[in-house]
Amino acid sequence: MEPGSMENLSIVYRSRDFLVVNKHWDVRIDSKTWRETLTLQKQLRHRFPELADPDTYYGFRFCHQLDFSTSGALCVALNKAAAGSAYKCFKERQVTKAYLALVRGHVQESRMTISYAIGRNNTEGRAHTMCIEGTHGCENPKPSLTELVVLEHGLYAGDPVSKVLLQPLTGRTHQLRVHCSALGHPIVGDLTYGQASGREDQPFRMMLHAFYLRIPTQAECVEARTPDPFLPTLDACWSPHTLVQPLDQLVQVLQAAPDPEPTEGGPRPCSPSMSLPGPGRPPPPPAKPPETEAQRASCLQWLSEWTLEPDN
């Protein structure tokens, strides 16, 4: 697959208030350093100079984040009111997200809920990584839930791998990467929480892709599906041999699921309307307490970020 460039920005949804882009792998969303030659921010300014807002720090209001090495659906708000409405949906856990990934090994259970609590790793040399509760140096672990459905089994460069659909029901840093690694099935190409097999060249990218996104704002439902990048026609190293679950069926489930109603503290992360079908799901945790003053201040800081003046 060709690397990202200033010209190859893909738009999968557009309205008066929002864009959803299909972010390229190994492209940062934004950067304050002059050394960063290509960012999504620069791609947007190049493609839509008329939409850039001089009152914002980066010119565009990114409603959420994707890791540098993760590709796929990323929502951009085109005005402050739209940014606020999208943020409200994220805060109240009304957003539906699903990712595709290639993971090491053949995952035996066709469906599972991963529930390892995730905290920050305070081990020397691992300051910017996360870890699961009970491991050395794991600081302040928080409950985390991911739904996993196996789509295909096959080989990547001769090594056994599984293609999976991942639905995060919480939003911890590096959640999908940490959860897959904790299962013993790290994401192919993730050199932070996994490693190369030794029998292949380092994969050209981390095999994690934001495939589906739905943000049900009051004014409109932002819904976008991106193309599947993990196909043998696009990557000759990937050779599927066993179909476990058709992807199109799961997309229909995601699209048909009703959006959770906002409640005090947000809906419970295991609400059936938010997750893929599957047996053996653990009971949901209790609802969050009402928002504190500190949390409210954090929300206001997030919204005010879009009015910061650029650096001189």
- Residues 164-185: pLDDT tens digits? 999 999 989 999 999 999 999 9
pLDDT band, very low/low/confident/very high, at 196 (cuts 50, 70, 90) = low
**Sheet with 138-142, edge to edge strand ranges:** 130-132, 118-121, 138-142
Q: Does domain 10-257 match CATH 3.50.50.60? A: no
pLDDT at 260: 74
What's the average model confidence in pLDDT over 9-37? 88
Place 124 in a pLDDT band, splitting at 50, 70 and 90.
Answer: confident
- Tens digits of residue pLDDT in 99-117: 999 999 999 999 999 999 9
In contact, 130 and 117? CB cutoff 8 Å: no
pLDDT score recorded for residue 51: 93
Work out the percent of the chain whose per-residue pLDDT is above 70.
79
Range in 10-19, 23-32, 217-226 with the lowest mean pLDDT: 23-32
Q: Residue 107: what pLDDT?
A: 97
Q: What is the pTM of this model?
A: 0.82
The whole-number pLDDT of residue 284 equals 46
32: tokens are 């304050």
- Kindly report each contact of residues 302-308 with a partner whose C-beta sits within 8 Å and lies 24 or more positions away, as own/partner: 302/87, 303/80, 303/83, 303/84, 303/87, 305/57, 306/53, 306/55, 306/56, 306/57, 306/61, 306/80, 306/83, 307/55, 307/56, 307/80, 308/56, 308/57
Q: With a cut of 80, say whether residue 201 has pLDDT above it.
A: no
* pLDDT at residue 304 greater than cutoff 60: no
pLDDT over 80 at 90, yes or no = yes
User: How confident is the model at residue 280, as a pLDDT?
Assistant: 40
Q: What is the pLDDT of residues 32-49, one digit of tens each?
A: 666 668 899 999 999 999
Q: What are the start-end ranges of the H helices in 22-117?
A: 40-47, 80-91
What pLDDT, on a 0 to 100 scale, did the predictor assign at position 288? 46
Work out the average pLDDT over 286-304: 53
Helices (H), the chain: 40-47, 80-91, 175-182, 247-256, 293-304
Instruction: Please tell me the predicted confidence (pLDDT) of residue 264.
Output: 45
Q: Is 90 exceeded by the pLDDT of residue 73? A: yes
Amino acid at 244: V
Q: How confident is the model at residue 289 (pLDDT cuts 50, 70, 90)?
A: low
Average pLDDT over the chain reads 84
Positions marked active-site: 67
* pLDDT at residue 228 in the model: 97
Read off the pLDDT of residues 242-274 as tens digits, 9 standing for 90 and up.
999 999 999 999 999 888 777 544 433 333 333
Token duo for residue 275: 């997750």
